[in-house]
Structure 1
């Protein structure tokens, strides 16, 4: 396999998710591989309605941080209801971008279900990578119908289907074979001393790192936690596509919203947390997830309090405490009081070796749930090799 077109649900930016880790690892493993990474379309009208600056998609350009990687971002001019042909035009634009790079018969890696249009147009050998059960998410009837139709097409047509969780394997694998490739963590940044981030509030902090979206985060539960922490602070780190009203309620309650952080900065927030939180809603959608934070939190070696969601529920990690919604705020308060506070190094100095615990080296008796992304890259490579050989 030399050419790969990835239709991603996430942009290629400083906040790395599953696709970026896997694609980066594949490029490192195979010096012949070329990748066109298709980002979600820019939506200028939605941006204006949300109070943000409207902009067109960035188009086709080379990635600045990787060789043999090109990025393409189309533009969504109008909502689907007003422009039924928009998805088909964007699919044609993806094909044109691939042809400009002289990718004539690439392997198609579909993470965004709307990629069914590209598959229908090209017939390229295809992989459907299922990372979330969007059919279980709360969406409009029209969007749910579109998602259902697209997924039915992909499950029927794609030569390979990969899922990230056992729950997805059970659900999507009823009518066809699927391959389970869970998520992972880069362990090296959690082994080295790291400074306390300058914008992390002083004193005890309970920290959540991840996408702050109502599909996952229980905003009211966060407010309840903030009310009982006393001198401690609740800190939410990550992209926060929240309704303005929810954001305002969080800020008024004293919750600290730090925004998205570069992946290289994340270990500092995790390892200098007194307690790490998973204040997730418990829904069929969150049941489908294999949270990357499950691996990052364990690598950080700090106490964790989680609602009973997939991954954390039933964990064998003694650092993890699972609490139902009613008990969650008091359990967090008690954990924050009991947790040994990570030492704060002097400005410009790394945390001492006796600071936040570093995990064992991979393979040196580490827990089964801590796996490096390099392992997952090898597993995904095996799937892609099967696909390319057909």
Structure 2
């Protein structure tokens, strides 16, 4: 295959407008950015997840748009009657075959006769025809069957993973744990999540708040059931000031944390301010419970923590803890372990030298992570 026809990117369950709103933060968002910046890819077609009539009406009121129409970038906004995910396998198959047909039509209309396809949507990977694409890749970000809010859907999701494996589709997974669970019969690759080095180019420029005499332990991310509330409570009880910045996705977890002395919930922090917030901390923390979901993750926040240069304490989960950059520079704790001692150990280790921090930011960059994926999608490597 050559790169003449470009790459079609099918989003997970969201849209280009959603990516714009969140500042192109997610794995899929950054794959789009990597493709757009690579000269081997002449054109990128971004396919929104299909939206129903009511959802499209709301989108019009918000003045949402698809990807801009340029020589290098195009967008398509497929539609369905209802956005809600069907509840039977047959209905799911029908929806994603229809979605795939809309992508095929749009790619031809945009002069892409036989593009590569990278889809982030499990059902599309499992049930789309894909006969219009010269190469197909499923990019798996999470074990969707292990997401608590999708518990009722888990059997359908598990069926879809089995179908992906049986089809021999190329699979890119963010962790080796996730890749093993999918167990593809075709090619399989591990590509951990990454960072945007420019966002962390000068984290030390943040003004450190010294009005707080206690050690400040910072967390940036969603407040949800992944968090080990017991670990956070132990750190606060030990006299540390624990500050958590992020959207409260699980109200019960939020209420539990709000009741702890020494714990401050800051709410969502603008993306541009996250680096400053973390750089003002004494220690950056990821304390997660061990679950099937967290074991399969590639924890973006840990990589971002490393780019601040501050000491990092994180739960040792799944395969990410085996990465050399993580093992060398993160104080790892077994799930349910002694986080108080880990914070003390991290403080003794101290912050990273600036030269080490800068090299880490570059080695963990999305562009470097995505290089082998783009080489295959563009046809420049097998």
User: Could you say which TM-score interval applies, normalised by the shorter chain?
Assistant: 0.7 to 0.9
Asked whether 1:6 is paired with 2:14, we answer no
Task: Name the counterpart of 2:73.
Answer: 68
Task: Name the counterpart of 1:165.
Answer: 175
Q: Secondary structure at the match of 2:294?
A: helix
Q: What's the CA shift string for 1:286-318, capped at 9, x where partnerless?
A: 222222223222222211222232324784325
Aligned pairs (5 A) from 1:31-46:
32-39=42-49
Deviation at 1:100, TM superposition (A): 5.0
Q: Secondary structure at the match of 2:374?
A: helix
Task: Name the counterpart of 2:143.
Answer: 133
Stretch moving more, 232-241 or 125-134: 232-241
Q: What's the CA shift string for 1:213-260, capped at 9, x where partnerless?
A: 32x32244434434x153x43222334321x23222223334313315
Deviation at 1:281, TM superposition (A): 0.9
Report how many residues are paired: 357
2:275 to 259, 267, 281: 267
2:338 to 314, 327, 336: 327
Q: What's the CA shift string for 1:89-134, capped at 9, x where partnerless?
A: 4763574466457246443222221224662376644211122223
1:358 to 354, 358, 367: 354
In 2: Cα distance, 1:368 partner to 1:293 partner: 13
Q: What's the CA shift string for 1:162-193, capped at 9, x where partnerless?
A: 12222234343464431222222233443425
TM-score (normalised: structure 2): 0.74
Answer yes or no: is the 8 Å Cα contact 1:107–1:126 preserved in 2.
yes
1:92 to 87, 98, 116: 98
Task: Name the counterpart of 1:234.
Answer: 242
Answer yes or no: is the 8 Å Cα contact 1:183–1:291 preserved in 2.
yes
TM-score (normalised: structure 1): 0.73
Task: Name the counterpart of 1:22.
Answer: 31
In 2: Cα distance, 1:65 partner to 1:151 partner: 35
1:112 to 97, 116, 121: 121
Q: What's the CA shift string for 1:25-54, capped at 9, x where partnerless?
A: 210113622221425868989xxxxxxxx9
Stretch moving more, 34-43 or 278-287: 34-43
Asked whether 1:80 is paired with 2:86, we answer yes
Task: Name the counterpart of 1:375.
Answer: 368
Q: Secondary structure at the match of 1:120?
A: coil
In 1: Cα distance, 2:164 partner to 2:367 partner: 27
Answer yes or no: is the 8 Å Cα contact 1:34–1:69 preserved in 2.
yes
**Distance change in 2, residues 1:196/1:368 (3 Å):** closer
Task: Name the counterpart of 2:255.
Answer: 248
- CA RMSD, Structure 1 to Structure 2 (Å): 4.2
Answer yes or no: is the 8 Å Cα contact 1:5–1:106 preserved in 2.
no
Unaligned runs of 5+ in 2: none
In 2: Cα distance, 1:90 partner to 1:174 partner: 20
Relative to its length, the structure with more helix (as a share) is 2
Q: What's the CA shift string for 1:132-183, capped at 9, x where partnerless?
A: 2233444666411110121122223254211222223434346443122222
Stretch moving more, 116-125 or 184-193: 116-125
Answer yes or no: is the 8 Å Cα contact 2:305–2:312 preserved in 1.
yes
Unaligned runs of 5+ in 1: 46-53, 343-355
Q: Secondary structure at the match of 1:184?
A: coil
In 2: Cα distance, 1:42 partner to 1:336 partner: 49
**Distance change in 2, residues 1:245/1:276 (3 Å):** same
Q: Secondary structure at the match of 2:354?
A: coil
